[in-house]
């Protein structure tokens, strides 16, 4: 007899297997066998292996600063990334997955694997700006997510060039 167990959460499960018997020495016509499945908690944590906040510092207006951050995964089952989203100041921050597209397709991480993301900041005003990158996935049927904050400050140019004409008249 093969008994299979499929878990749907992290709670230990019990059941009784009832077998009809024609054993003359049995005390009843049915033998009840207790079954217990000890369920360990699923790996439900993808962790950013870089700091939770990525600070681009002060960047000149319309100039671009770049940074790369990495997420790593530890767990018994594969992490299937289902979405990578950017919220907040999305007009000045961008994020590109270097190993797959941002919809999360093609990103599967096994235990100990990691993937990188490239982020850019191109301020359009002299102000502090913030965005959040959220990475969502599934591990063994459990939803997980992790995020990092992107911050930067726009700065007006220090020097502006203007065109001027000088007339010196006749030079001897």
pLDDT tens-place string over residues 10-36: 667 777 777 777 777 777 787 777 777
What does the pLDDT look like over 86-95, one tens digit per residue?
899 999 999 8
Expressed in angstroms, the distance from the first to the final Cα of the chain is 113
Q: Can you give the C-alpha Rg of the chain in angstroms?
A: 30
Residue-level pLDDT at 38: 61
Structure tokens at 163: 């065109």
Q: State if pTM tops 0.85.
A: no
């Amino acid at each position: 007899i093969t008994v299979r167990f499929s878990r749907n959460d992290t709670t230990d499960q019990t059941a009784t297997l009832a077998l009809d018997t024609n054993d003359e020495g049995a005390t009843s016509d049915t033998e009840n066998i207790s079954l217990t499945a000890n369920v360990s908690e699923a790996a439900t944590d993808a962790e950013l292996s870089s700091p939770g906040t990525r600070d681009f510092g002060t960047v000149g207006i319309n100039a671009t600063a770049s940074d790369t951050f990495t997420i790593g995964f530890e767990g018994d089952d594969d992490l299937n990334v289902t979405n990578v989203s950017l919220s907040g100041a999305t007009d000045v921050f961008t994020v590109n997955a270097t190993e797959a597209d941002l919809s999360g397709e093609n990103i599967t991480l096994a235990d100990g694997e990691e993937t990188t993301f490239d982020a850019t900041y191109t301020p359009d005003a002299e102000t502090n700006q913030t965005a959040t990158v959220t990475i969502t996935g599934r591990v063994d049927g459990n939803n997980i997510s992790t995020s990092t904050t992107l911050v930067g400050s726009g700065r007006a140019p220090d020097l502006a060039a203007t065109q001027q004409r000088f007339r010196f008249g006749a030079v001897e």
